[in-house]
A and B are shown apart, each in its own frame.
Chain A
Amino acid sequence: MLTENFSRRTFLKGSASLSALLGLGVATSQAPKGLIPKAQAKSNGKVEQFYNACPRNCYDTCSIVTTVEDGRITFITGNEKNTYTKGRLCVKGNTYPRVVYSPDRIKYPMRQKGRGSGNWERISWDEAYTIIAKKILAIKKEYGSTLPICLNKYSGNFNILNYATEGMLSSIGYTTRAQGTPCDPAGSDAQGFDMGAPYNNDPEQFLDADYIILWGANPAWTSAHSMYFIEQAKERGTKLVVIDPLITQTASKADEYIQVKASTDGALALGMIRYILDHQLYDKNWVSQNSIGFNEFFSYVKKNITVEWAAEKTGVPKPVIERIAREYATAKPANIWIGFGMQRHVNGGAMVRAIDALAAITGNIGKKGGGVNYIGEETWGFNYSTMGFGAPEGSGGEADRYVNMNNFGAQVLDANDPPIKMMWIACRNPMAQDPEPTVVKKAFDQMDLIVTADLYMNKTVEYSDIVLPVTTPFESVGVNVSYWHYWMNVNEQAIKPLYETKSDLEIAMGLSKKLNQLKPGSCTFPVTGDPLDWVEKEMNDDIKALFNVKSWDDLRKNGGTAKANESITVAWKDLKFRTPSGKYEFYSKTAAEYGHHPLPIFTEEYKAPKEYPIRCMSPHWKFGIHSQFQHQDWLMAIQAHPFLEIHPDLAKKKSIRDQDMVKIINETGYMTLPAKITKMVPADTVVMYEGWWKGVNYTENFTVKALQEDMGEHLKGQRGIAFHDNFVNIEKA
């Protein structure tokens, strides 16, 4: 403070009277220390570069180079040493300097007096830990276990060290967890039944493909770096086919675009299969050597499927189905990429199984440049050492309890014995991203304490009791891998954490310390530790061998990014499937055990109710990932408000003109937003892109019911949500 540090003069006439007057001598302020004599060694104009990793829920999981001048980030771009990132970031990644220095960031731990009141008081970390720890201990005492405490954490930050939040909760006892994923469950289960696991080829292999079908995937918006390889392949003569109900940005680039009726992709695949079987275009050797149940499947198709039927069902003309089937079956290798959007239907899993079968009968699985590519997790074999401490002695209950993340509100409300009383939310914004937000709000209302750790004020923070400010990737360390490409990226600390922000790992250690102070032994999570040691602990021998690196620190010093060795970049190269039979299973007993038909058969799509005849799809948006990015000013300057895409025919029928306000409504909710008239959507469908828009008090989820997909329990614990089977009506507002 000024007086102590650099002035020994008789201090200010006024100061004395002020202090006497207001008792300032004893004021306990939370203000940071003030000015101090300058450290001798300071040198201005110092420019440094650091490696970071984009940890967002994105296929591309980029390796980043961050330029720091005088301790301040001045530029953020891609790492050239990573052949997938190629020194370039997507549009969202380019906004990172704004993410860090946004005026919207949460700066200090704060407590809200009256949930939703906007009356916040600042508290210290110690106070925050104390309030939370006391509540945890009180709950444990009252209910005999920590099961009334519920964690809802998901995809906001996939840094491996962020699993500390899960670890911390496990370290206090058995708790309730939001389980599952709104992302990929039905498709992952489908691939699990067929092949034992979802496993995709290296996307850099698009260059080796002779034929590419992007099936309900829109990489131009969701995976710009993959799109580069696809465009390159196209220029070298590879045919690009896009199958999608919408004319997406990717579809606009296709050599051939096929507009399929939403949720009938399975019928299309089966129609193609019928044609391929009839014309003997399938790979008899592959099928006989590497699969089981082919004959059963063969007879199912012969008996139940015709190309005419498929044409009728899907809206794709018979000659087109036949031609595409022939082209696909004769191209070697042919590559299919199934988008997550395609399976967000009540029959999503079944559709993915049908498409898998198409790839299998043509022998495209296990081939470089081929494959039926959906998602993969081959590079995720870290130690997860933040998660391994286990429940303390004397924890009540026997195991964690699960509620479905995809029907979170309702299941929290239903949970009894014991009820849920406290919620910890991290890397998530359920009030904006969950279906049926009114039900989620009801669940919040039932809590004694809601703690949210976040970067920004959002709908979920608004309804929390305590908010904990977290660091951006640039303010903490970590390591990231992708569910799509085959690189591992280190994340260095590039700048000091701003204000009083902390990483999820530091929060876990801090809370554990407080719990152990209040009640020794009540939390098994370590109370101290250097994040650099923690991240080093993630690297085991297998990971090191796979990526050919000595250590995290070694990688940090040598380019910040490493690619897995080639033994795993072609999925199922050894044709040893992870199914019970070790073969590709057209006939899956496991599927049957989960109550599905053992074969990849056709299942009907969800039918529109009479009052709500229009399908409303909510695909991902080019300036956002869920509730992230879109709110940054640079992106707001391009598009500041959500809109509804409507086909001109439908618009005409409803007397809606471009930019008119449109009310969109169903039994779950309604909202009003401007229309964009465009032929990019079919006339029986409207589109509202997914995301969190600043200053807008609704989200696309206002009309989304928690309708289940057909699969998900097998590998993900819970089924997903059929986001795209949402039916509404619209009218001019």
Chain B
Amino acid sequence: MAKKLGFLVNIERCIGCHACEISCKSFYQLEPNMRRRRVQELPEDVVGTPVRAFVSTACNHCDDPACKKACPVGAYTKREDGIVVHNQDLCIGCQMCGKACPYSVPMFNPVKKKMDKCSMCYDRLDVGQLPICVEKCPLEAIQIVDYNEVQPANAVSEIPTFADTSITHPTTHFILHKPGKQSRRF
């Protein structure tokens, strides 16, 4: 059976450091504002007690990719293993994919005048290496999982701040933050 690859993001482990985002930027030598992966702060009362919690997301390599549907020149393909690949050579920079994606993942690169998004480092995966963000997160908070093989315990597909998953069926899953005890003065 074909693989169904997706990211598994461990919010419990994530310290919001942005090393995933920056190591990706460094590896692909991207401009400061181009983000294939982005780290976002969750509302501080997301688990009831106030905490600093973050979630790191990239392209969700959706089962029903809206980007692919919207692209007028067929720059998007979904590989058998589930990775949604954007071909910059074909891209005409019309930005339709960016508008269609519920997660605003494809970004316009104003220098190249083309869209740009996470490819799950498929060329690294194809030679047995991990995606850069997975390999470089100091907390090992990001994994690649073959969801046809394993259904990791505690993994959920929805978190607050994440758009309705029924539209494109993203493959990304999350492990939520477990709130600890707090004895606060305020």
Contacts and interface: CB of A to CB of B under 8 A. Distances in A.
Contacts of B32: 633-634, 636-637
A91 B22 CA distance: 7
A257 B182 contact: yes
A249 B15 contact: yes
Nearest to A248: B52
Interface stretch (B60-68, B82-90, B131-139): B131-139
B18 A638 contact: yes
A257 B184 CA distance: 8
Main secondary structure of the interface of B (DSSP, over half): loop
Contacts of B13: 231
B185 A247 contact: no
Interface residues of A, number: 55
A228 B139 contact: yes
Given A261-B185, A678-B44, A97 B26 contact: yes
A217 B27 CA distance: 31
A256 B183 CA distance: 8
Contact of B29 (A74, A78, A259, A679): A74
A228 B16 contact: no
Interface in A57-112: 74-78, 86-91, 94-95, 97
B77 interface: no
Interface in A217-268: 220-221, 224-225, 227-228, 231, 240, 247-259, 261
B72 interface: no
A302 B108 CA distance: 69
A95 B180 contact: no
Nearest to A219: B15
A220 B26 contact: no
A636 B18 CA distance: 12
B50 A679 contact: yes
Contact of A224 (B12, B17, B135): B17
Contacts of B51: 247, 251-252
Nearest to A258: B183
A78 B132 CA distance: 12
A254 B185 contact: no
B180 A256 contact: yes
A683 interface: yes
A153 interface: no
Contact of B16 (A240, A247, A249, A637): A249
B41 to A, nearest CB: 10
Contacts of A717: none
B181 interface: yes
Interface string A467-503: 0000000000000000000000000000000000000
A58 to B, nearest CB: 13
B53 interface: yes
Contact of B180 (A89, A224, A257): A257
Given A91-B18, A94-B136, A251-B51, 13 more contacts: A87-B135, A88-B138, A90-B17, A94-B19, A228-B139, A240-B180, A249-B15, A249-B16, A252-B177, A259-B184, A679-B44, A680-B52, A682-B186
25 contacts: A74-B29, A75-B27, A89-B19, A91-B17, A91-B22, A94-B22, A95-B26, A227-B15, A227-B138, A247-B52, A248-B52, A249-B16, A252-B51, A252-B53, A252-B177, A255-B180, A256-B183, A258-B183, A259-B182, A259-B186, A637-B33, A678-B44, A679-B45, A680-B44, A682-B184
Interface stretch (A315-323, A389-397, A426-434): A315-323
Given A75-B26, A91-B18, A252-B53, A228 B140 contact: yes
A635 B185 CA distance: 33
A89 B17 CA distance: 11
A56 interface: no
Interface in B2-31: 12-13, 15-19, 21-23, 25-27, 29
A227 B53 CA distance: 15
Interface string A306-343: 00000000011100100000000000000000000000
A227 to B, nearest CB: 6
Interface in B153-186: 177, 180-186
A221 B44 CA distance: 17
A558 B137 CA distance: 25
A208 interface: no
Contacts of B29: 74, 97
A228 B141 CA distance: 10
Nearest to B132: A77
A225 B19 CA distance: 12
B23 A94 contact: yes
A626 interface: no
Contacts of B27: 75
A649 interface: yes
Interface in B68-110: none
Interface string A100-127: 0000000000000000000000000000
Contacts of A248: 52
Interface string A632-669: 01111110000000010100000000000000000000
A88 B19 contact: yes
A224 B14 CA distance: 11
Given A91-B17, A91-B19, A315 B135 contact: no
Contacts of A345: none
Nearest to B18: A91
B22 A95 contact: yes
A316 B183 contact: yes
Contacts of B15: 220-221, 224, 227, 249-250, 253
A226 B21 CA distance: 20
Nearest to A73: B26
Nearest to A245: B185
A368 interface: no
A615 interface: no
Contact of B186 (A89, A91, A649): A649
Contact of A228 (B12, B23, B26, B138): B138
A514 interface: no
A220 B182 contact: no
Most-contacted residue by chain B among A88, A89, A221 (CB, 10 A) = A88
Nearest to B17: A91
A647 B136 contact: no
Contacts of B22: 91, 94-95, 634-635
Contacts of A647: 186
A583 interface: no
Contacts of A231: 13, 139
Contacts of B12: 253
A227 B12 CA distance: 12
Contacts of B182: 247, 256-257, 259
Contacts of A259: 182-186
A678 B29 CA distance: 35
A680 B50 contact: yes
Contacts of A683: 186
Contacts of A240: 180
B185 A315 contact: yes
Nearest to B30: A634
Nearest to A637: B32
Nearest to A220: B15
B158 to A, nearest CB: 21
B19 A90 contact: yes
Contacts of A258: 183
